[in-house]
Amino acid sequence: MSTLYREDILEHARNPHHRGKLEPADINASLANTTCGDEIILSLRVNDEKTVDEIKFEGRGCIISQAAADMFAEYIFGKKIKEITKIVPESILALFGAPITPSRQTCALLAYEALRRQLGKQNT
């Protein structure tokens, strides 16, 4: 991974723009990786057009999981829920700008997977 991408990931981990909690939230999603202990809790506010107006995350874990949560929040901010349900894991991994090893992909996809599962529950 190039130095530029590492610096970007570190910046998201050190100074996340979306860290915090929304109360009340329209959507809450959480997931823990029991293998490594990473945890993510997402809270979203959605407007009448079903567009993400606000998104925050809380959590703990490795730099990859925490940076990815912030990057994911930026990625889905302003998108319609219908669009978000069509996002594939490869799109999230591409945010890193460099390959993520298979062993770290679970960390990188934790926030995505939490929201994907929650939205799946709401649509059933």
| Domain ranges within the chain, ordered by starting residue | 3-122
**What would the mean pLDDT of 7-31 be, rounded to a whole number?**
88
Over residues 22-49, the pLDDT tens digits come to 999 999 999 999 888 999 999 999 999 9
CA atoms within 13 A on the CB side of 70: 21
CATH 1.20.1600.10 at 3-122, yes or no? no
Residue 39: closest CA among 57, 12, 15, 21 = 57
Predicted structure pTM score: 0.90
User: Which residues, listed in sequence order, are joined to residue 56 by a DSSP beta bridge?
Assistant: 43
96, 11 contact by CB (below 8 A): no
